[in-house]
Every structure is written in structure tokens, then in C-alpha cells.
Amino acid sequence: MGIGIAQVSAQNAKTNVLVLDADERQLEKGLKFIASNLEKAVVKGKLSATERDETLGRIKTTTDIADFAQTDFVIEAVSENPSLKRELFLNLDKITKPSAILSSNTSSISITKIAAATTRAEKVIGMHFMNPVPVMQLVEIIPGLATSQETLKVTLDLAKKMGKITTESADVPGFIANRVLMPYINEAVYVLQEGIATKEDIDTTMKLGTNVPMGPLTLADFIGLDTCLAIMKVLHSQLGDTKYRPSPLLVKYVDAGWLGKKSGRGFYEYPAKK
């Protein structure tokens, strides 16, 4: 997600971007991924070679969070873990200049709670990008309880420069997209768990019967079953309704390390490319 956000920021918004990751190899892999995406666009005639080179020139990488000291706008895209996000925002609050806006790409966690870890709650906001970021048009914008109108305006303007269409959600668990999507996926897992249908028939029924691009179990594999489970846990714990209880089969798959496409196996298997 972070690499995709970096690409649209550098390519469409034409801003200088600094990408942080603890693993230098992940950063190198990410840059290669962006370069590959841009090269495909050049081949298809959607981008000039000059634009490709200019985009890549706007992207720098670092493994040191201290390098964010002069950053104007931060978009966090770490794992969907409340403690991890709060700790990161606590550090960002200390490192970045007071005028910097701190945004989270969280898909379910309270922006107000994240903002409480900082001394600038008025400058904290949610930007929920959809994956893959360079392809998907939507960004959900989520103001927290204390988010200022100026922060909201700057964020909306940045998303527009990135070429995105925005929707605005109240700061409630799951926001709009995952409040609807994750229970749908979770119920599909229950249907599989209860032996009502095979995974293929579940996906085919929903794909052809409701005209969605892919079935719920395939989509879960693409999202990551660990991410789906994390969001369902947030919905269940924060809303307190048993209808959000994660499917035991979903829990079992995550415990087994079957996380979807990224691990090579989820509801379906994904052989490694040779």
C-alpha cells in the first residue's frame, strides 16, 4: 500500500516523496515495483519516458524515521494494529515539524484514538486508500473528533491531485467500505465453513449473480486474510455486536499462516512464479 501511495503522489500529484521502511530490501523491491509499473505505462503510450524518469526522481527512500523531520504531510501505511499505529504516531509527533499533517491509511481503526497519541489532534486525519492504489480510484477521508477544517481541506486537495475520487466517513469502526465489505467476506467464509457450497461456487455465484469483479473468497485472498481478520476483530470489539464475530475458519487459516496471495495460500493456492 505504501509503495502504491508513493507512486500516485510522485506521478500524479508531482510531489517529492520519502518512503520509510525498516527493511532496506523491501524499499529496493518497492522501487523496482514502481519502475515496472511506470515502464508498462510508457510501453502502452500512457506515459512518456521523461515523465517516467521525473516520477522516479521524486521518490527517495529511508530506513530512519528521523529523516521525516521536514516532511509536510505523512501517510502511514503500517499493519492494521492499533498499538503499532499509536506508537508510530507518538514518534511522528515528536519528529515532524508542528505544521505537518499526519494521516493514517487505516481501514478500520479510530482516527480519534490514533490522534490522541499526539499533541496535534487537529492535524491528524484518515486517508483509506484502496488496493492496488495506482488502479483504484477511491480514497475514504475520515476526520477524527478534533480534526480541523483546514486539515480536511488540505487532505482533500492532495487526494484530488493524486487523481483520486474521495468520500467522507464519520470516525466509526470500519468507516464505509469495510463496515459493508468485511461482514460480506466473513459471511462467505461461514458459508464455506458450514459446507453450504464450495469456494468456487461461492465466488462464482457472487461474481456472476451480483456483477462484482471477483468473488468474496478470492477478494479476501487478495486483501490478506490476516488483514480481514484484524478488521473483523475491530468491528466485533468496538461495536459489540455478535454479527461481527470472525468466522472460526478465518481464524484457523490465519493461525496456519494461510494469509492469501501474499503467502502463496489462502482459500486458493498461488504457486510461486518461476
Check 103, 108, 178, 247 and give the catalytic one.
178
Assess whether 178 carries a catalytic annotation: yes
Q: Find the catalytic residue in 37, 128, 186, 247.
A: 128
219 vs 212: CA distance, rounded Å: 10
Helices (H), the chain: 2-11, 24-43, 49-57, 82-95, 111-115, 149-161, 177-193, 199-210, 216-223, 225-239, 248-255
| Residue of 108, 110, 140, 186 marked active site | 140
What's the full length of the chain, in residues? 274
Whether 37 sits among the annotated catalytic residues: the reply is no
Q: How far is CA 266 from CA 36, 47, 59, 261, in A?
A: 26, 35, 33, 7
Active-site hit among 107, 108, 110, 186: 107
AA identity, residue 130: M
d(CA 147, CA 74): 15
Contact 112, 89 (CB under 8 A): no
- CA 69 – CA 94 distance, rounded (Å): 9
**How far, in Å, CA of 78 to CA of 67, rounded?**
17
Spatial CA neighbour of 17 closest among 66, 72, 64: 72
Catalytic residue status for 140: yes
**Residue 268 buriedness (CB in 10 A; 0-12 / 13-18 / 19+):** middle
| C-alpha span between 136 and 194 (Å, rounded) | 33
Give the active site residues: 107, 128, 140, 178
